[in-house]
């Protein structure tokens, strides 16, 4: 017998007190790190020497956003016991698989601020714009999504309206991020990770036993609430609809997300590996664990409030938790969405500071004070834009799909650009555009995947499988193994994917994006005469704020500073 669909609310006073304690507490934390004269580079990457505790907490907190908790619960409710694995495990691997590339990126550009800035030094303007544009769009969408999640949560658990809720969340996040930027974001991430992970440790078992404990599983099967596929740990339905598209996205989200890149440039170089591994386990266990609430809801035969599966997480918490633990669960979700939202604000400000101002007006004479002002204005404008999108009828999901695809198109050209001297700006740009041109009609089903058109798409998607697995293997084991795994995976997958993948357009489209960008980038680069000197990147990406105002491109003694009077890549001047 499913429980009553009425949910308990925390009440207006309790919610306001909790929000004041949460945002007031984080604000107090940031006051402790406030500086009379903030450093522009510190505002973006905190001096590139963050320790393990803060960086692991920050990476974990940033990667866990409210949507990932909601989506994992939805996966558990929809696909059963394997659902949360097919959401959380692949999301966690996004962090793990990027760290070998992260080490290479840091070695090539030890004091950079954004990946787009590095692409500018490597290739030039068009590559930088593609990466920076996708980063901006992605962070803005993420920010909007977190505001929406906060507004919806506050509206559900208190008499406050959705509009009031998003205003409180947006104001709270902006309040503590605006002054100290990235340093505030990573420091408060530790407190937020305590909230999130601490709450997950308590809330999951309490709900499990309050909802009936082990007996719920037999009762659920007896009541016919669960299908055989939903009881199966190796559910093909869960893999093909949920897991496989996520595997394809593993590298795309890690490469395309400036919040990850920013932490990569901030953490002490020798701590990249332990930081990323800890964050992988922390993210995976938390998100999969929260997803178990969806599995419980499925076995208990619960119907989502208003038919919306996104309501399941607060609904389960409000139904089964006593008042004090409901408040803790509330803070868990507020912590998840705030930590990601502040990271998005920092990411957006860094992109505008380093990639827009730093590579245009301030290319040869960057003024750190102007940079900081621009960074802070960017945060305010981004918050306003996200509030506008959150309250308008904009289709966030379509935008997210588009940005995810753009990131998928960028993965091979970006990674290859850090290892292969022959990759040119032309190869980078054309391969990304070509991949997008093929991706869009497949993903949005503008062309029907039947008849003669289906087979070439399936062939490309099969090559895409080889590209994804080959890149992953390359990161850990080098070129020879990477190529071997790529070829073997393509050949091994072909008997299963041909005449089959046409029914799975989301998966096919993602794989096609990888395949086309790889094929075009490789074909245009393999005969190129360019032999790029990677030391150029180190010279062209460095600190903007060297203590002198304005920075005139004057070199410091070491070669990590910018070349005097020269912000332009050597090849771009030719």
Partner 1 sequence: MTIALTAYVLVWPVIVAGVLAVISRGFFRELRAAKKEGRPII
Applying CB under 8 A, which residues contact partner 1? 33, 46, 50-54, 56-57, 60, 81, 183, 186-187, 190, 193-194, 197-198, 200-202, 204-205, 208, 213-215, 217-218, 278, 281-282, 285-286, 288-289, 292, 295-296
Evaluate the CA torsion angle 505, 431, 247, 153 in order and state its sign: negative
**Please, what is the minimum distance in Å from the beta carbon of residue 221 to partner 1?**
9
DSSP annotation of 226 reads S
Contacts of 574 (CB under 8 A, 6+ apart): none
Task: Closer to partner 1 by CB, 335 or 362: give it.
Answer: 335
171 touches 33 (CB < 8 A): no
267 beta partners: 50
**Please, what is the minimum distance in Å from the beta carbon of residue 190 to partner 1?**
5
**Please, what is the minimum distance in Å from the beta carbon of residue 196 to partner 1?**
9
**Please, what is the minimum distance in Å from the beta carbon of residue 280 to partner 1?**
10
* Rounded Cα distance, 377 and 372, in Å: 9
Evaluate the CA torsion angle 490, 493, 494, 497 in order and state its sign: negative
Question: Hey, what are 498's tokens?
Answer: 């041909």
**Please, what is the minimum distance in Å from the beta carbon of residue 55 to partner 1?**
9
Alpha-carbon Rg for the chain, nearest whole angstrom, is 24
Of 171, 187, 386, 198, nearest to 289 by C-alpha is 198
Residue 324: C-alpha distances to residues 190, 329, 397 (Å): 22, 9, 34
Task: Closer to partner 1 by CB, 286 or 546: give it.
Answer: 286
**Please, what is the minimum distance in Å from the beta carbon of residue 324 to partner 1?**
18
Give the distance between the most distant pair of CA atoms in the chain: 75
**Please, what is the minimum distance in Å from the beta carbon of residue 205 to partner 1?**
6
| Phi and psi at residue 64, to the nearest 5° | -85, 105
* Rounded Cα distance, 141 and 147, in Å: 10
**Please, what is the minimum distance in Å from the beta carbon of residue 299 to partner 1?**
9
DSSP annotation of 309 reads G
**Please, what is the minimum distance in Å from the beta carbon of residue 201 to partner 1?**
5
* Rounded Cα distance, 248 and 496, in Å: 17
Task: Closer to partner 1 by CB, 33 or 459: give it.
Answer: 33
Residue 227: burial class (beta carbons within 10 Å; 0-12, 13-18, 19+): middle
Omega before 550 within 30 of 0, i.e. cis: yes
Helix, coil or strand: residue 267 = strand
**Please, what is the minimum distance in Å from the beta carbon of residue 434 to partner 1?**
41
Task: Closer to partner 1 by CB, 194 or 483: give it.
Answer: 194
Q: What b/e sequence results for 179-207 when a residue is b if at least 16 CB atoms lie within 10 Å of its CB, and e otherwise?
A: bbbbbbbbbbbbbbbebbbebbeebbebb
């Amino acid at each position: 017998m499913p429980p009553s669909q009425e949910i308990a609310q925390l009440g207006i006073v309790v919610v306001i007190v909790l929000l004041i304690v949460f945002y007031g507490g984080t604000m107090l934390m940031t006051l402790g790190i406030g500086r009379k004269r903030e450093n522009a580079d510190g505002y973006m990457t905190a001096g590139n020497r963050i320790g393990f505790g803060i960086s692991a907490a920050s990476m974990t907190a940033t990667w866990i956003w409210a949507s990932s908790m909601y989506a994992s619960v939805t996966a558990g409710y929809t696909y059963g016991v394997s659902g949360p694995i097919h959401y959380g495990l692949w999301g966690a691997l996004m962090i793990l698989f990027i760290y070998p590339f992260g080490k290479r990126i840091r070695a090539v550009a030890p004091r950079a601020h954004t990946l787009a800035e590095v692409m500018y030094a490597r290739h030039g303007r068009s590559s930088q714009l593609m990466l920076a544009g996708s980063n901006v769009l992605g962070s803005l969408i993420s920010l909007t999504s977190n505001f929406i999640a906060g507004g919806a949560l506050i509206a559900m658990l208190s008499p406050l309206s959705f509009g009031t809720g998003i205003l409180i969340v947006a104001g709270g996040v902006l309040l503590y991020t605006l002054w100290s930027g990235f340093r505030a974001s990573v420091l408060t991430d530790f407190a937020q990770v305590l909230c999130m992970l601490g709450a997950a440790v308590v809330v999951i078992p309490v709900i499990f036993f309050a909802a009936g404990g082990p007996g719920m599983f037999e009762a659920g099967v007896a009541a016919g609430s669960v299908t055989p596929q939903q009881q199966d740990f190796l559910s093909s339905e869960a893999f093909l609809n949920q897991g496989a598209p996520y595997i394809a996205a593993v590298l795309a989200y890690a490469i395309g997300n400036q919040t990850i890149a920013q932490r990569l440039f901030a953490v002490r170089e020798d701590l990249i590996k332990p930081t990323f591994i800890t964050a992988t386990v922390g993210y995976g266990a938390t998100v999969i664990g929260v997803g178990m609430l969806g599995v419980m809801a499925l076995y208990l035969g619960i119907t989502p409030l208003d038919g919306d599966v996104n309501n399941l997480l607060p609904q389960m918490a409000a139904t089964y938790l006593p008042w004090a633990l409901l408040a803790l669960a509330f803070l868990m979700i507020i912590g998840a969405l705030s930590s990601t939202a502040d990271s998005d604000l920092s990411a957006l400000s860094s992109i505008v500071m380093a990639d827009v101002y730093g590579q245009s007006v301030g290319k040869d004479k960057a003024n750190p004070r102007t940079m900081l002002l621009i960074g802070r204005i960017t945060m305010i404008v981004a918050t306003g834009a996200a509030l506008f999108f959150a309250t308008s009828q904009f289709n966030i999901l379509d935008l997210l799909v588009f940005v995810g695809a753009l990131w998928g198109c960028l993965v091979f050209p970006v990674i290859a650009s850090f290892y292969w001297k022959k990759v040119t700006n032309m190869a980078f740009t054309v391969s990304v555009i070509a991949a997008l041109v093929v991706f869009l009609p497949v993903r949005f089903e503008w062309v029907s995947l039947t008849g003669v058109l289906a087979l070439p798409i399936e062939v490309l998607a099969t090559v895409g499988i080889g590209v994804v697995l080959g890149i992953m293997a390359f990161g850990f084991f080098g070129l020879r193994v990477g190529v071997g795994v790529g070829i073997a995976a393509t050949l091994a997958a072909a008997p299963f994917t041909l005449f089959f993948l046409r029914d799975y357009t989301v998966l096919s489209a993602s794989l096609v994006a990888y395949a086309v960008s790889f094929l075009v980038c490789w074909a245009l680069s393999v005969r190129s005469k360019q032999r790029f000197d990677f030391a150029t990147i180190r010279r062209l990406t460095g600190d903007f704020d060297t203590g002198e105002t304005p920075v005139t491109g004057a070199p410091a003694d070491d070669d990590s500073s910018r070349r005097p009077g020269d912000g332009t890549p050597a090849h771009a001047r030719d």
